[in-house]
Amino acid sequence: MIIILTSKLIKNSNKGSLVTSGTKKRPDGRAFDEMRHLKIEAGVLERADGSSYVEIGDNKVLAAVYGPRELYVRRLLKPNMAILRCRYNMAPFSVEDRKRPGPDRRSIEISKITAEALNPAVFLEKFPRSTIDVFIEVLQAEGGTRCAGITAASVALADAGIPMRDMVAACAAGKSEGQVVMDLSEWEDKEGEADLPIAMMPRTGDITLLQMDGHLTSDEFEKALDLAIKGCQIISEEQKNAIKNRYGD
Amino acid sequence: MVQSVVPEIIKESVVNLIQKGERADGRALDQYREISLETGVIKKAEGSARVKIGKTQIVVGAKPQIGEPFPDTPNVGVLITNSELLPMAAPNFEAGPPNETSVELARVTDRCIREGEVIDLEKLVIIPGKKVWMIFLDLHIVDYDGNLMDAAALGSLAALMNTKIPSTTIEGDEVVIDYEKMVPIPIKEQPLMCTLAKIGGELVADPSLEEDDVLDARISIGLRVDGSVCAMQKGGSVPLTREEVLKAIKIAQEKTKELRKSIPKA
């Protein structure tokens, strides 16, 4: 009934590169260990206690933090520490085909693992019987939104003045067109062989989030993990710069 | 709007100031805060805008989809307006299904756009009765600092004026969509909304967060370019007099002329 003349998928796959010797350029022209364009700003919203805006490639993500504040759902309260809750949400217009508003299974899972990725960094024991709420809004998605969300959330937590062991940074690595690469684009994520998003505290090297799908040999896995760690370190510097830009050295 | 509990002493000071013809942020009674408007901010959306009135911030995205028309209107396209008052936008906003404020905002914005005839919906028909373009307009409220209505109407209009759809042709009984040839959606009119708050017996334009919290009544007026009225909504539990309503329209007609200057030329 409906024929799509030039679908967006075909357009994207045309970007595929020619194989050159050794390591080859990726579809968007990056080297295997090169990150997409990165921009981080702190303190972008008026009402939130802390906020940030992150662009990684074409990802555009806002994060806001409220708290530590009182929690009305009393059964969730912990007598000796704060709880950290997270809501990851995608704008209906953030993806190619409009996403129905509201949580789905994917966003619920990402919310959970994001909270778990941030938890170890925050001195929750300093705020008993309270909650810290983290809200992540994906305004535009282009592969790697969970990592962009975690990166943004940490900056928002710092902007809110919440004491932390380190700002958690997140970055993915993976395998695309037979090559292990850093910071997968949307196309590499969809068409690639493996995806390995991680979050870590670069100061200590502690990994706080790790997911993987696809297929990697153990050598490839090690290489991908090292690339993802390197990515986190690059992002970490940019996170610190964002806080310095807002508050001075 | 989304009124939160305000200490009586703050309410009194806001009211006293307004009765003296002043406002807490130094504005004149009929003065808007600074307005900024950018369009095309979301590449993945076929139309988009980011609007700020004061610190209130809304990201609007428009996404077209092909679908079936409603059975009672087989020969017009479909416009669906939806809004999310995100929990990030204010400490008293909660996650979950749209609450009554959110639904009111989406419906009033929809009314302004629909009755103000922004889009020539008849031109969105591909096969009468069978296939039409459906435009989904999503309002993402990311920062709430008062006066959502005017920001929503302004952002929606700007996003729609920025919206492009792929051209379609019919070959036999098949619809051929050409994503290489994007065309702007047919824009007919450019209505805008102006909200006035009644506080201490006076009418003030563009209520701030504090004013939104203490207002007695609010009237939002949608106006076309020629100053004719296309949508209205009264809010708040204090009544308005006939004279106040007529005065509000007069003020709104002046103010929408100013608001219109922030719209990028199509």
Q: What is the pLDDT, as a whole number, of residue A2?
A: 61
Query: pLDDT tens digit string along B49-64?
Result: 999 999 999 999 999 9
Check whether B196 has a pLDDT greater than 80.
Answer: yes
Q: Report the pLDDT value the prediction gives residue A25, as an integer from 0 to 100.
A: 85
Mean pLDDT value of segment B22-39: 95
- Asked whether residue B252 carries a pLDDT value surpassing 60, the answer given is yes
In Å, how far are A101, A211, B136 from A93, measured between CA atoms? 10, 26, 9
| pLDDT value, residue A248 | 86
CB contact under 8 A, B173 and A1: yes
* pTM (two decimals): 0.92
> Does the pLDDT of residue B239 top 90, yes or no?
yes
SS3 assignment, position A68? strand
In CATH, A29-243 is 3.30.230.70 = yes
- Please give the angle made by the CA atoms of A40, A43 and A47, to the nearest 5 degrees: 140
Domain B8-260 is found in CATH 3.30.230.70: yes
CB-based contact A11 B179, cutoff 8 Å: yes
Residue A5 pLDDT: 55
| Tens digit of pLDDT at every position of chain A (249 positions) | 566 555 444 444 444 444 434 577 899 999 999 999 999 999 999 999 999 999 999 999 999 999 999 988 888 899 999 999 999 999 999 999 999 999 999 999 999 999 999 999 999 999 999 999 999 999 999 999 999 999 999 999 999 999 999 999 999 999 999 999 999 999 999 999 999 999 999 999 999 999 999 999 999 999 999 999 999 999 999 999 999 999 987
pLDDT exceeds 60 at position B127 = yes
Do the Cβ atoms of A4 and B179 come within 8 Å? yes
Q: How far is CA B174 from CA A5, A46, A65, B256, in A?
A: 12, 50, 50, 44
Q: Do residue A48 and residue B88 have CB atoms under 8 angstroms apart?
A: yes
What residue ranges do the domains of chain A occupy? Answer: 29-243
Which ipTM did the prediction report? 0.91
Q: How far is CA B60 from CA A94, A173, A205, in A?
A: 11, 32, 39
B-chain residues near A101 (CB < 8 A): 82, 84, 138
Upper half-sphere CA count for residue B57 (Cβ side, 13 Å): 14
**CB distance from B208 to chain A under 8 Å?**
no
pLDDT score of A13: 45
Mean pLDDT calculated for residue range B34-46? 96
Per domain, the residue ranges of chain B are 8-260
| pLDDT at residue A24, as a whole number | 79
